[in-house]
Structure 1
């Protein structure tokens, strides 16, 4: 095989051009554009690092393991996208440009679409371990108008750092959905979010260990908010003072999403209840942009 640099470059480029040509007849122009770009960047990556056949075999094995460990309760490919920052880059590309809208962040792998409905002021914890936390605020537009009847999906890990779907007993705890009220208000009881590691007993965990990165996520509460005529919002709120705010394994932290969790002891809650002992409260408005970005 020739080692002449010019011949090597020509041979490699010929492979890329042949693959690009194979997609020329793709009927969908967007798919054709995506595949052409993917091939160009993927081939350029292989050339740039001079990818060996052994390294490529290791990569295939890694992806195979990610597929094998993925099931209806765990999505390893979302974890991989998250730890590579691709999830947050996709969020940034698609973020609405409306000033004042709540910023988006990663969706995460633990959402389920069968969460129970709760009334305003209800309890999503449903037995999840942790310090009681009263979460409230308004759902509104960027110009301040209340958004009535918005669907608010909420989910979180318990004090031990586990989501309900990570337990083997099929429990539903630490998640639920509710509607905003006639003034856009929302409120519910939960537990104070706690920091936790992303699942790191699989290939993504091996990648983090090999690159001397940690698996921890700072304490946060997930929201997904939908309402007619508005863009869907997927976001978190993070607890101020958490030690992992500056090293989130999935790069999801944004300054505007960091909130204070106010601690209370033996006082009545805003809904008039008496939790008994220590409890916390968080206040945060969820601000939606319209479909045209306003």
Structure 2
């Protein structure tokens, strides 16, 4: 029997996990053990701190459910989510860059026609987002599905609001044969991440901004192309330089141009002033 010491515990644990039946699991777990032990040694982790971390992880799991992903939020504010995105979506320089999914995406959003309104008369300044979806060669991508969602004027997503029976500020749109798309919504606002849970507890002990700049989420799928998870950010929005989840990219910042009452991009008419944002998405082939 080999005696366990501070000097040999890391390799003993790593070797044990390296025996996992799946080679990738063995590789990941052995590396995780080595890095966790290195972290504990670097900071000389106390038993009190270790127990506090265990409690924090437990509370993070307890507050999570089908509508709230506190672990994703933790990953976001630690920069891990964005690191994984960067490593796994190293697209061509001409392709639209990916960013974080975030914890508030809901499957099964309703399908809307070209120019369809996903705001359903919620208060806010009307915003039309128009443009096209194309490949790296500039060819239009017909039938691409844009899954779109955002927060309301109070910074709340549908999953954060109790007793909602219908989809709120989320919808799916398909591109036309020429690759064009058009959707109507309301102008997004910057908002705070949820601060009532374990992640908020951590943030409150720092000077870190807990806000995200105004943005709209997109998840785009098209046959023959890599899925694209991204945002469009409002040009000039507050918190662009201090996004708490590190999701902002200059290529995704777009002007929300003011428009007077009159014709709208969907062929209709607006009796009130509105905003227009135009963006052409470029997809990476598989």
Q: Normalising to structure 2: TM-score of the pair?
A: 0.96
Other-structure match for 2:137:
143
- Cα distance in 1 for partners of 2:280, 2:228 equals 12
Q: Sort the Cα spacing of 1:149 and 1:24 in 2 relative to 1 into closer, same or farther, 3 A.
A: same
Matched, 1:67 2:61: yes
Matched, 1:95 2:89: yes
For the Cα contact (< 8 Å) 1:66–1:202, is it kept in 2?
yes
Other-structure match for 1:35:
29
Other-structure match for 1:3:
none
- Cα distance in 2 for partners of 1:187, 1:270 equals 7
- Cα distance in 2 for partners of 1:263, 1:27 equals 59
Matched, 1:283 2:278: yes
Matched, 1:82 2:76: yes
Matched, 1:106 2:100: yes
Point out where structure 2 has 5 or more consecutive residues left out of the alignment: none
Q: Alpha-carbon deviation of 1:221?
A: 0.4
Q: Alpha-carbon deviation of 1:20?
A: 1.2
For the Cα contact (< 8 Å) 1:165–1:172, is it kept in 2?
no
For the Cα contact (< 8 Å) 1:179–1:186, is it kept in 2?
yes
Segments ≥4 residues shifted beyond 3 Å: none
- Cα distance in 2 for partners of 1:34, 1:128 equals 46
For the Cα contact (< 8 Å) 2:14–2:33, is it kept in 1?
yes
The SS at the match of 1:13 is coil
Other-structure match for 1:234:
229
Q: Provide the aligned C-alpha RMSD in A.
A: 1.2
The SS at the match of 2:133 is strand
Equivalence map 1:71-220=2 (5 Å):
71-170=65-164, 171-220=166-215
For the Cα contact (< 8 Å) 1:87–1:106, is it kept in 2?
yes
Q: Normalising to structure 1: TM-score of the pair?
A: 0.93
The SS at the match of 2:35 is helix
